Every structure is written in C-alpha cells, then in structure tokens.
Amino acid sequence: MPRRAARPASPVGHLTGGRTHQKLRTRRDLLATAARLIAGGKHPTVTEVADAAEVSRRTAYRYFPTQQKLLVEAALEGVRPAMEAALAAAPEGLTEVDVEKRLDTLVQSMQELTVRNEHLLRTMIHQTVLEKAAPGARLRGSRRVDWIELAVGSLKPRLGKAAYARLVSALSVITGIEALIVLRDIRGLSETQAIQMSQWMARAVLRESLRDARRQ
C-alpha cells in the first residue's frame, strides 16, 4: 500500500508532541474519510474507511473498534467546519474583552451543537464511558479541547503553562454533553437556560484565571 504524503501541521499542532500529533492526524484522516463516504450515501465499515484513507486496518480498529463508534464520531466530526467558522467570526483581538467575547461565542455555539446532536452524544457516552483508553490514545472529546484552545489560546503566554492548562480543563467540564446532562437531567433547566448557565460559568472561570495572573 503506498505511503501517505506528510500533511501540514494542524492549527493545534503546537499543543502536542510529535507522536501524539501523528496519532491525532491519523484519527482525523479516518474521520474525514468516513464523513466523506457517509456524505456520498454509504454506510462504511471500519475496514472500508481504513482502505479509503490508506491507513492500515489494524490501526483503524485501534481507534474505532466498532462501526457504530466510527459512524457516530464521523457524524460529529462533520460539524467541525461550522464550529471553526463561528470562532473565525468572533473577535480576534488579544484584549481580555475580546477573549471573553470569543469564549462566549464558542460556548454558545458548542452547546447549541450539543443540543442538536444530543442523541448522538449520549450514544457516544454509552459506548465509551466505561471503555479504558489505550495507552497514548487521543481521548474522547478531542474536538472540545481543540475548540477551547482556539478560543483562549492567546492567553497562554500571559497565564503560563500550568494556569492555562487549568483553564482549559475547567472549560472542558463546563461545556459539552456532560454539562448538558447535568444541567438538564439533574438541575431540570431548559435548553436555553442550560446554554446560558454554561456561558456564565465559562466567563466566571476565565475572569478568575485572569485575576490570578494579575496577582502574580
């Protein structure tokens, strides 16, 4: 089988090591290929996607042990362009106000996306929450982290490595299907209220991170 040509680094390539970056790229290649096949009216198996992506079948099955898991992930990966377009339309400045507006846009767009794909995301949790990740594997929720870092990545030099990582971790808890489940199923909020609550929490965490940085 011919070797794939090297591709340019992704926008988040600087956030990962070489081997981890390669694994992330392979995973995205598989998802992009699956999404293309689905868009063409197919219901591809893991083997078919691996062959079309020119990735070994063994490697593909390490990332996606079942067809259902692959198809669910591929369907969600298909919304990546819409999310990145929403972020691109947000303020690009480096001021605290600009970053807060960009984060607010991210959380609203992400949680609206979560509501629209709630069934798929709940299915994904059902499939993977008890699944032990392989050593070095990219964890579930990688899209969420990518989008968060696109929104607040400009703060990394100001906050420092540890504080920045803490901010990204906190925002990862505040967004996504897990936050929606807690706010909807446990707190009984409406979809709109749940989105607004996630935005409020994200702003609070961001402001506290910036206050900590100013105190140092």
Q: How much is the pLDDT for 130? A: 53
Dihedral-angle region of residue 151 (phi above 0 means left; psi in -120 to 50 means alpha; beta otherwise): alpha
In this prediction, residues 179-194 reach a mean pLDDT of 96
Helix/strand/coil percentages in the chain, nearest 5: 75, 0, 25
Q: How much is the pLDDT for 24? A: 84
Q: Contact, 112 vs 104, CB < 8 A?
A: no
Q: Which two tokens stand for residue 19?
A: 């081997």
The pTM of the whole model exceeds 0.75: no
Q: For 28-56, write each residue's pLDDT tens digit.
A: 899 989 988 887 888 899 999 999 999 99
Q: How much is the pLDDT for 135? A: 45
In this prediction, residues 191-215 reach a mean pLDDT of 96
Neighbour tally for 119: CB within 10 Å: 9
Question: Could you identify the residue written with the tokens 């069934």?
Answer: 119
In the structure, what pLDDT confidence band is assigned to residue 141 with cuts at 50, 70 and 90? low
Q: For 84-137, write each residue's pLDDT tens digit.
A: 788 788 877 778 899 999 999 999 999 998 898 887 777 777 766 655 554 444
